[in-house]
Amino acid sequence: MVIGIHAKGAFKYERTSVEEYVYQLVKHFAMLDEAQQHTFLLYTPYIRGTLHLPPHFSARKLYSPFFWTRGRLSLKMLFDAPDVLFMPANFLPFFCPPKNVVTIHGLEFEYYPEAFSEEQLAYLRRGTLRTVRKAGRIIVPSNATRDDLVRFYDADPQKIFVVPHGVNPQIAYHHRYPPIDEKYILFIGRLEKKKNVLQLIRAFSVLKEKHGIPHKLVLVGSSGFGFEEVEREVQNSLFKTDIVLTGYISHEEKESFFKYADVFVFPSVYEGFGMPVLESQLRQVPVVASHIPSIKEIAGEGAILVDPKSVQQLAEALLSVVSDDDVREKLVSKGLKNVQKYSWFKCAKQTL
């Protein structure tokens, strides 16, 4: 059959989590033997990046200065639709073929509506409701997201399929020197309120003040909603010189930060999946993360899980990891065992 894919994210150089999902799926579809019987049309407003695709994959450039999904792609579906359309990022175009598959990654806007403007919130809710009603099949990355769709949108559980994401492999990269000289606690993610960065900074201050740990706190990621409060919290901290904000970094730089980290911390209050947890486990970095449904589901026994609203629990968990080698070794061992369950090949195979 002819499979059309909204592939805009796969052709970006700097990819966020959903764009990385699209990139890895397209890349691994191309490696599957069973994909050779199909033709793949990759719809995108631009063609660039590092994808090297076989002949049965064809990038279709659809130009539009605005409303690309709702406008240009929608018109393409009206006049020249594939046998089935795959939308890997939450919404359907206005016109779409009856056979379609959509991936919904999470419903953070239902848990934290204050993080969105009224217009954004209305758009997200309308779009999600329409997707739930019109989608032929819905893919979600976790049971937690499936349950949210049923709870908030009365989605039919029979057409929802749980297909966990894969985990990004380690990049062959020579890390001759650590990115910073001191020991450090690592966070990777958008610097915003729902990632709970404020509580992390407060927990770090407790560790410095009460326990005198020698570590720095490294916050890797671009700014998001509430970043002004994050900046203010850093400036008001007695230990602001020990808090490093890197902004967005390349995949190679991220590998370097992972390699020398003492512990990875992911205290988010909501996630549809939580890929950085698995990336840390694969790289043998002990993990402290939130005790929320999606993280509990994917992390297995390879992480210390804490109440993300409790500064004390977060501080105590981090202290146990940085001060006890036995705790570190057990977390690393259990994390490596857990992460073997996840791969982009498996994700691509199940998606196809």
For 273-313, the pLDDT digits (tens) are 999 999 999 999 999 999 999 999 999 999 999 999 999 99
What is the sign, positive or negative, of the torsion defined by CA atoms of 58, 55, 103, 165?
A: negative
Task: Count the Cβ atoms, other than its own, within 10 Å of residue 178.
Answer: 14
Residues 6+ away with beta carbon under 8 Å from 287: 263, 264, 265, 266, 277, 280, 281, 299, 302, 303, 304, 331, 335
- Flag whether pLDDT at 65 surpasses 90: no
Alpha helix stretches (DSSP H) within 31-157 = 74-79, 108-111, 118-134, 143-153
Average pLDDT over residues 114-139: 93
pLDDT in tens, 209-246: 999 999 999 999 888 777 888 889 899 999 999 999 99
pLDDT in tens, 25-42: 999 999 999 999 999 999
Give me the pLDDT at residue 214, please: 96
Average pLDDT over residues 249-255: 84
Alpha helix stretches (DSSP H) within 246-288 = 251-260, 275-282
CA 173 – CA 131 distance, rounded (Å):
41
In the numeric block, the tokens 């009460």 are attached to 210
pLDDT in tens, 144-203: 999 999 999 999 999 999 999 999 877 655 566 778 889 999 999 989 878 899 999 999
CA 127 – CA 231 distance, rounded (Å):
32
